[in-house]
Amino acid sequence: MRPSRPLHRSACRTVTALSAVTLSLGTGLLTAPTAVAAPAGRPSVSAPRTGPTPGFAATGAYDGCFPSATNPGWVGANTGITLTVATDSPARHQLATAFRLRDEDARKTEWHTTGWGSSHSDATVNVGPLADGHQYEWQAVTTDTALASAVPTPCSFRVDRTPPTSKVTSTDFPESGSVGAKPKKYAGEEGVFTLLGTDPAPAGSRSSGVACARWTTDAAEAASTGWRCTDSATNSRVVRLTDGRTDIKVTPASWGTNTVYLQTQDDAGNLSQPTAYSYYAPARPAAPTAVFGDINGDAKPDVLLPDSAGNLRQAGPGADPAAPQSARSSVAPGGKGWGEVQFTHRGSLGYSNVDDLIAHEPGSRGLYVFRNDGGVFDQQSSIGVNKPAACARPDGSQLTCADAGFGADWSSVTQVVAFGSPVGDSGTATGTGYYALPRTSLVFVENGRLWLALAGSTNQVDDPAILLSDSTQWDGYDLIAPGRAKGTDLPTLWARSKSDGSLHAFDIKGTPQAPDFSAFADPSQGLLSGAVDPTAYPRVGSDGDLTGDGIPDLWAVDTQQRLVVWKGTGTAPDPASGVLAPTVTGVVPAA
C-alpha cells in the first residue's frame, strides 16, 4: 500500500486518505491494531503546546502555542524540545499521531510519530534541542485508522541556546589589577558603574537579545539563579539595558576590596555566567570619626522608623523626607512590614563602621542581621543569628539555661537592642590610619529577665549568654540604648517604665577588663529626671546625640506617628578638661 501524503503547510487541509489496516505517517509506516468497525465520529487534536514553553523573559509573556510566525516566543537552552497535543476519539478507538516540524531557516521538514495510544490522551514527541537561532513551525494530526483529524493552526517558536555575556566597568572605582588606574572616589562615596551585556547570535542566524540584568553586592544572592526580569517590579537591582548597557550607582560602605556581581538574561531566559567585578575603595583622608548609630556614613546618628506602608525610612533632625526607603516592607521578618517587628541598630556584629540592622518578629524562632549596603538594608540576603547555647552569670560562673527561662531559640524574646561594646565604644586606629569601631553586642529580655550576648564569629553572637538580672520585671520596661551616657567610654542602658513613663539608667562599672553589671539588677532603680508617657508615646528610642550638643537624646513617636525629640541634659564631653564622655542626668522636650 502506498503511504499517504505528508501534511502541507495549509492550516485548513485535512488528511483523509488513510487505511483502516495500516497508517502511513511521514516517512515511515506504523502498523495499525486490529481493524475496527466504522467510527462514530472523527478524531480531534487540541491544546497544542511546546515544551519548554516559548515566550519572552523581558515581559514574562509565555504561551505553549504562538499561532503567528511574525514574532513567536523563544525557547532557551534545553535538552530536548517536546511537542504535545491532546487527542480524542469520539468512537473510543486507539489513536496514532503524526507531528510535522518545519525548520523555516533551513527550509527542511521532519515528521515525528507516536505509537498507538488510548482514545483520549496527550500525544507527545521529543524533537531534540533543535538548531540554535532557528525558527520552527509545527502541526499535528491524529488517526484511528479510519478517519483522521483536521489539521490545526500551526504553532511557531524560535530557539536561542546561547547564553548572553555580562561585563562591569567603572572609572570611579577601576577594577582591581587595572594597570595605572586609580579610584576617583573613596569609601562612603557614590560611584558610577556601567553594566554591559551582549547576546551573541550563531553565524547567519538570530538571537533573542539581552532582556535584563541583575546586579548585587551580595555573593550569596549572586549565586542564586531563580530570578526573573519581571522581578524589577519589586527588586531595584533587576534592571533593563538600553543598547546593551545601563549605569548604576553604588556606595561602598567600607574601605578595602569590594565587589559588584552582575548576571544578564536574554529574552529566551538564558543566564550569563556571573561576573564578579572587584575594586578597591580607599579610606577617605581625614574622614569624620565613625560613630555608633550611623547608617549612611556621615558620622552622625540616624533614626529609623516604619512609614504608613511598613517600609523602613530615616527620620529625625536632618533626615531627607524624599530620600529612598532604607528597607522595603516585604523583606521584614514575617513579610508584614517593619511596624510588626522588633528592630534595632547600633553598630555591627560584623566589621562595619556603619550600623547593620538586627530584627526579630515577635514569637518567631529567628533573629536576623540585615547588612548595611550604602545606607539600605534590603539588597543583601539576611543572616540568621544563632541563639547562644550556654548561659553564665556576669562573674563567669556557669548557669543552667533552662533554670533561668532561657530557651533554645529566640521565640520567647520580647525585646532586643543593639547595645554597643561592653568594653568601650571608642574605636581604634589601625596601622593604615583607618578608624575602626568595636563590634556591638545585644541586650534582650526573655521571660522577663535581662540578658547580654557578646559578639562572636562574624554576624553572630557568642557563648555564653550573660544573665544581667534575675528580676523577671523587665517586660514592664522599654529598653533604650543611648550609648555612652555616664561619663565613661562604656555604654549605658536606659529603660522607660510602661506603667508611669519614668526613665531609668543602668551603667557598667568597673573596667573593660573586669566589668561590673550590678547596676542592672533592678529595673526600678537608676531614676533619671523627666518622663515619657507610654500612652501618648508608645514607641521610644535613642540613637545618641541628635541635637549636636554632644549629649545623647531620646526620641519618641506619638499615636499619630509623629516623631518628638527629648533633649538630653547633663554634661557634654570636653577633651580639653579631660571629660571624654557625656553624662546624662535627665531629658526635657526639645524646643
Residue 413: what residue type? V
Instruction: Give the separation between CA 521 and CA 438, rounded to whole angstroms.
Output: 26
Asked if 264 and 166 touch (Cβ cutoff 8 Å), the reply is yes
Asked if 165 and 155 touch (Cβ cutoff 8 Å), the reply is no
pTM, full prediction: 0.63
In this predicted structure, the answer to whether residue 39 has a pLDDT above a threshold of 50 is no
In this predicted structure, the answer to whether residue 303 has a pLDDT above a threshold of 80 is yes
Per residue in 262-277, pLDDT tens?
A: 999 999 999 999 999 9
Lowest mean pLDDT among 55-59, 222-226, 390-394: 222-226
Per residue in 162-177, pLDDT tens?
A: 999 999 999 999 998 8
DSSP bridge pairs for 195: 168, 246
In this predicted structure, the answer to whether residue 57 has a pLDDT above a threshold of 50 is yes
Higher-confidence residue of 209 and 3: namely 209
Share of the chain above pLDDT 70, in %: 91
The pLDDT value given to residue 282: 84
Asked if 41 and 91 touch (Cβ cutoff 8 Å), the reply is yes
The pLDDT value given to residue 370: 97
Distances (CA, A) of 297 to 100, 287, 354, 369: 64, 10, 6, 18
Helix (H) or strand (E) holding 74: strand 74-75
Q: What is the mean pLDDT of the chain?
A: 89
Per residue in 490-516, pLDDT tens?
A: 999 999 999 999 999 999 999 999 999
Instruction: Give the separation between CA 203 and CA 226, rounded to whole angstroms.
Output: 30
Average pLDDT estimate for 432-440: 82
Select, from the ranges 32-41, 337-346, 572-581, the one with the highest average predicted confidence (pLDDT).
337-346
The pLDDT value given to residue 505: 98
Q: Where does residue 188 rank: exposed (0-12), middle (13-18), buried (19+ CB within 10 A)? A: buried
Confidence of residue 145 (pLDDT cuts 50, 70, 90): confident
β-strand pairing of 539-544 with 553-557:
antiparallel
Lowest mean pLDDT among 15-19, 131-135, 313-317, 327-331: 15-19
The pLDDT value given to residue 5: 34
Instruction: Give the separation between CA 174 and CA 181, rounded to whole angstroms.
Output: 6
Q: Which grid cell is 375?
A: 545606607
Find, among 199, 182, 192, the residue nearest to 215 by Cα.
192
The pLDDT value given to residue 7: 35
Q: Which grid cell is 436?
A: 575602626
Instruction: Give the separation between CA 588 and CA 503, rounded to whole angstroms.
Output: 12
The pLDDT value given to residue 373: 87
Residue where the block lists cell 528597607: 327
Q: Who's near 547: CB < 8 A, 6+ residues apart?
A: 317, 553, 565, 567, 590
Higher-confidence residue of 255 and 564: namely 564
Confidence of residue 40 (pLDDT cuts 50, 70, 90): low
Structural domains in the chain plus CATH codes: 44-159 (2.60.40.10), 165-281 (2.60.40), 303-589 (2.115.10)
β-strand pairing of 155-159 with 74-75:
parallel
Lowest mean pLDDT among 59-63, 216-220, 444-448, 483-487: 216-220
Confidence of residue 193 (pLDDT cuts 50, 70, 90): very high
Average pLDDT estimate for 280-308: 85
The pLDDT value given to residue 257: 85
Share of the chain above pLDDT 90, in %: 75
The pLDDT value given to residue 120: 95
Confidence of residue 18 (pLDDT cuts 50, 70, 90): very low
Average pLDDT estimate for 570-578: 91
The pLDDT value given to residue 290: 86
The pLDDT value given to residue 36: 42
The pLDDT value given to residue 317: 66
Output the DSSP codes for 290-315: P-TT-SSSSSS--EEEE-TTS-EEEE
Helix, strand and coil content of the chain, in percent to the nearest 5, comes to 5, 40, 55
Confidence of residue 321 (pLDDT cuts 50, 70, 90): low
Higher-confidence residue of 1 and 406: namely 406
Confidence of residue 41 (pLDDT cuts 50, 70, 90): confident
The pLDDT value given to residue 298: 83
The pLDDT value given to residue 12: 33
Asked if 135 and 105 touch (Cβ cutoff 8 Å), the reply is yes
Q: Who's near 234: CB < 8 A, 6+ residues apart?
A: 328, 330
The pLDDT value given to residue 88: 96
Confidence of residue 578 (pLDDT cuts 50, 70, 90): confident
What strand order describes the sheet that includes 357-360? 342-344, 357-360, 368-370, 383-384
The full 3-state SS of 517-574, as one line of letters, equals: CHHHCCCCCCEEEEECCCCCCCEEEEEECCCCCCCCEEEEECCCCCEEEEEEEEECCE
Reported residue count of the chain is: 591
In this predicted structure, the answer to whether residue 29 has a pLDDT above a threshold of 50 is no
The pLDDT value given to residue 71: 94
Higher-confidence residue of 145 and 568: namely 568
Instruction: Give the separation between CA 29 and CA 482, rounded to whole angstroms.
Output: 86
Instruction: Give the separation between CA 482 and CA 420, rounded to whole angstroms.
Output: 9
Instruction: Give the separation between CA 68 and CA 156, rounded to whole angstroms.
Output: 7
Average pLDDT estimate for 197-203: 93
